[in-house]
């Protein structure tokens, strides 16, 4: 037993726990976890806290960085489409896309021929249609083995999530187009960075899965804390007892009611968060 027993801290990975933006752009290798963040997380866990990652990454791309992370809770993957227990090596919960999503994905690609899409499969296989330079940049960051397809029919079922890729200056228009479709209400549709638009099953969001994870771990809602930097983190920030964001977060995250702004992700944001929890408990 410790002061953080019964407390869940769920952190976004890219540009929150670890600042990966320069690696994404191909300018730098993948950075390591800052020593001050590691020390703080280890202290939090030693005092009984549960530390988990909630990421848009698929299992294979997160498995690459997982060995270097102190983490004692299951991870939320695919932007909320699954909870995975690394100790048991199994999914605890999944919410994958229905097969009826295929014509909807193609409708978007037909309307936006400059866009690409990555399709994630539950056996950890990844497929791409209309692959472009952004697809290659994303693969540089995640190091995921991806099979290029000619048609969506070649992708096996089920699809855990679809990830549209388009240049940043066209992202807002693509987002408006997809969310304006008659079928949009069947899905969760949210940008995860300036050129990635995530499409998952209804209810497959970081916010919903953080709540489900807390239920699995028997953690009370008032003891859930979340931190993230982008629009796909808004759902889990809404269920956080205190929402947290690094200083590099986008504006809509910085405007979340009650948000606590931490130092930049490059300057120990998670260590600063845990210092606040240390004072709270």
Coil, strand, or helix at residue 53?
strand
Compute the mean pLDDT over every residue in the chain, rounded to the nearest whole number.
91
Which strands make up the sheet holding 50-53, listed edge to edge? 50-53, 8-11, 224-227, 243-245, 260-261
At 196, is the secondary structure helix, strand, or coil?
A: strand
Give the separation between CA 20 and CA 56, rounded to whole angstroms. Answer: 13
- What is the tens place of the pLDDT at every residue in 204-229? 899 999 999 999 999 999 999 999 99
Alpha-carbon separation of residue 193 from 79, 89, 162, 166, 215 (angstroms): 12, 29, 14, 11, 29
CATH number of 8-95+205-280: 3.40.50.1000
DSSP 111-177: H-TT-EEEEEETTS-EEEES--HHHHHHHHHH---EEE-SSGGGSPSPEEEEEEE--HHHHHHHHHH
Return the pLDDT at 250: 94
pLDDT, tens only, 154-178: 988 889 889 899 999 999 999 999 9
d(CA 167, CA 175): 12
Per-residue pLDDT tens over the stretch 62-120: 888 898 899 999 999 988 989 999 999 999 999 899 999 999 999 999 999 999 998 98
Q: How far is CA 34 from CA 16, 98, 193, in A?
A: 11, 39, 22
Residue 145's pLDDT band (boundaries 50, 70, 90)? low
Q: Where are the domains of the chain?
A: 8-95+205-280, 101-201
Q: Give the DSSP letter of residue 228.
A: -
Count, residues in the chain: 281
- Kindly report whether the global pTM for this prediction surpasses the value 0.75: yes
**Beta-carbon-side half-sphere exposure of residue 70 (alpha carbons within 13 Å):** 19
Domain formed by 101-201, architecture: 2-Layer Sandwich (3.30)
DSSP letter assigned to residue 68: G
Cβ 3 vs Cβ 43: under 8 Å: no
Q: What pLDDT score was predicted for residue 144?
A: 58
The model's confidence at residue 135, banded by pLDDT at 50, 70 and 90, is: low
């Amino acid at each position: 037993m410790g002061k953080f027993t019964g407390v869940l801290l769920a952190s976004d990975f890219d540009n929150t726990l670890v600042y990966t933006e320069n690696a994404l752009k191909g300018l730098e290798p993948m950075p390591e976890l800052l020593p001050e963040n590691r020390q703080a997380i280890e202290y939090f866990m030693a005092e009984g806290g549960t530390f988990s990652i909630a990421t848009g990454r698929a299992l294979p791309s997160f498995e690459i960085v997982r060995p270097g992370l102190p983490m004692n809770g299951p991870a939320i993957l695919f932007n909320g489409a699954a909870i995975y227990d690394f100790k048991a090596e199994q999914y605890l919960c999944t919410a994958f896309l229905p097969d009826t999503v295929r014509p909807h994905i193609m409708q978007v690609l037909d309307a936006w021929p400059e866009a690409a899409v990555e399709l994630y499969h539950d056996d950890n296989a990844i497929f791409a249609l209309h692959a472009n330079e952004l697809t290659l940049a994303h693969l540089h960051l995640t190091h995921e083995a991806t099979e290029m397809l000619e048609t969506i029919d070649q992708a096996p079922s089920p699809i855990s999530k679809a990830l549209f890729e388009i240049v940043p200056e066209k992202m807002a228009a693509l987002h408006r187009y997809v969310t304006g479709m008659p079928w949009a209400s069947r899905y969760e549709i949210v940008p995860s960075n300036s050129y990635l638009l995530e499409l998952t099953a209804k209810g497959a969001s970081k916010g919903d899965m953080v709540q489900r994870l807390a239920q699995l771990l028997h953690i009370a809602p008032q003891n859930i804390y979340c931190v993230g930097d982008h629009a796909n983190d808004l759902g889990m920030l809404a269920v956080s007892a205190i929402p947290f964001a690094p200083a590099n977060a986008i504006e809509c995250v910085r405007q979340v009611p009650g948000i606590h702004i931490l130092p930049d992700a490059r300057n120990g944001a998670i260590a600063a968060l845990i210092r606040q929890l240390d004072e709270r408990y």
